[in-house]
Amino acid sequence: MWVYEKKLQYPVRVSKCNPMLAKFLIEQYGGADGELAAALRYLNQRYSIPDKVVGLLTDIGTEEFAHLEMIATMVYKLTKDATPDEMREAGLGDHYANHDNALFYHNAAGAPWTATYIQAKGDPIADLYEDIAAEEKARATYQWIINMSDDPDLNDGLSFLREREVVHSQRFREAVEILKEERDRKKIF
Amino acid sequence: MSTYRKSWRPYIGPNDPCPPIEIKYYETPPNLYLGYQPYGLKQFDPSTALFKGTLWPALYAPYSNPYKKKREEEE
Amino acid sequence: MANPKQMPDEFYQWMKQLQEIDFVLVELTLYLDTHPEDYDSIKQFNEFAEKGMRLRQKIEKKYGPLMQYGQSYSGYPWNWDDPPWPWQM
Ligand SMILES: [Fe+2]
């Protein structure tokens, strides 16, 4: 089971009310390479992959939920007291018409999250290569958002999240090596 | 030591309407070079590690918008 | 209407310290998932686990539970749902 902790993984700060940045950021909430897709992808792959890498998928999948909460916190802070007019001016009129200031699992262009964003091929190598690609795509998405953001506090949190993708990719690459390893032969460091 | 950012020059055609971006950049982060992480790598202290997003300097590569400076210079 | 209780600076500082310790533990967890025989890292992991537990207890005693389903003790009345929630901090 999972147990919730009343604490963010990283102290998220946002300098100013800016719904426009929230519109971009929602890509990492409900987009193809976002944190929801990441969490569900890894946790779902656990059931059909060799035991040696189940721990890693569990732990990275769980961390992704912590990242999802960080993104939600950023969006919440960027839009909390934004008026309907401010939402519309930021390009969030379509969102507001359906959701008011509520968060929703869709991407920056408003397309709702779909399970087709994630794969589960059942082949351990195919699945881990998918995971490595997913981490690189998430890293790239953070870069594109940082490129458009002029909020230093927000970028601080986004830089943290981007670096986590680098570490996750590293671990998935190591998981591939574990599965490649010849049985009975020891790893040489 | 590897570099974590690479650049290339896209082809500029005579009929491209936008002013050309002469140099394009892409990131090649440390996970592409480290291999299986060795034991005992140097660590950041906990406060720095949280701020940087990793415990190990060997996995850390900061990112900033590579096109920002250029735009400001032109203005 | 008055704004509900604001947390003192001390709470934010302690939470930051906890985030630091727990982050080391997250990093070591993922690392140990692919390096299960690194004895020194397991030692470091256990040391930080201990540190984290002690700090968590200190925070919870003064500011209320951080976890539930019985992973933390409750005050009276039930104070699990007292603000601030993480996104409100
Ligand atoms: Fe990730």
List, in order of start, the domains of chain A with CATH numbers. 19-103+120-181 (1.20.1260.10)
**Which 8-state DSSP code applies to residue C37?**
T
B18-42 pLDDT per residue, tens: 999 999 999 999 999 999 999 999 9
In a domain, C76, yes or no: yes
C15-43 pLDDT per residue, tens: 999 999 999 999 999 999 999 999 999 99
Which of A7, A11, A171 has the CB atom closest to C33's CB atom? Answer: A171
In a domain, C7, yes or no: no
User: How many domains is chain C built from?
Assistant: 1
Q: Do B54 and A163 make contact, defined as CB atoms within 8 angstroms?
A: yes
The closest of A163, A137, A139, A171 to A61, measured between CA atoms, is A171
Q: Using 50 as the pLDDT threshold, list the residues of chain A that sit under it.
A: 189
Percentage of chain B surpassing pLDDT 70? 89
Asked if residues C29 and C16 have their Cβ atoms less than 8 Å apart, the reply is no
In a domain, C72, yes or no: yes
pLDDT at A69: 98
pLDDT at A110: 95
C4-14 pLDDT per residue, tens: 778 999 999 99
Question: Which of these ranges, A122-136, B56-70, C55-69, has the smallest mean pLDDT?
Answer: B56-70
Asked if residues C8 and C62 have their Cβ atoms less than 8 Å apart, the reply is no
The closest of A15, A21, A14 to A147, measured between CA atoms, is A21
Q: Do C27 and B37 make contact, defined as CB atoms within 8 angstroms?
A: no
For chain C, the farthest-separated pair of C-alpha atoms sits apart, in whole angstroms, at 58
pLDDT at C5: 75
How many A from CA of C71 to the centre of ligand 1?
Answer: 27
Question: Measured between CB atoms, does A141 come within 8 Å of chain B?
Answer: no
Q: Do B31 and A169 make contact, defined as CB atoms within 8 angstroms?
A: yes
φ/ψ of residue C78, rounded to 5: -40, 115
**Which 8-state DSSP code applies to residue B63?**
-
Q: What angle in degrees, to the nearest 10, is found between the helix axes of A124-148 and A35-45?
A: 170
Asked if residues A68 and A29 have their Cβ atoms less than 8 Å apart, the reply is yes
Here the ipTM equals 0.95
pLDDT at B23: 96
Identify the domain containing residue C51 by its residue range. Answer: 18-88
User: How many domains is chain B built from?
Assistant: 1
Pairwise CA distance, residues A28 & A147, whole Å: 15
pLDDT at A117: 97
Residue B72's pLDDT band, with cuts at 50, 70 and 90, is low
Give the chain A residue whose CA is nearest to the CA of B4: A166
Alpha-carbon distance B58 to nearest alpha carbon in chain A (angstroms): 10
Identify the domain containing residue B50 by its residue range. Answer: 5-74
In a domain, C53, yes or no: yes
Give contacts of B40 with chain C, Cβ < 8 Å: 40
pLDDT at A182: 78
Question: Which amino acid is located at C51 in the chain?
Answer: K
Q: What angle do CA A133, A35, B29 make, to 5 degrees?
A: 40
In a domain, C67, yes or no: yes
Alpha-carbon distance C85 to nearest alpha carbon in chain A (angstroms): 6
φ/ψ of residue C75, rounded to 5: -85, -175
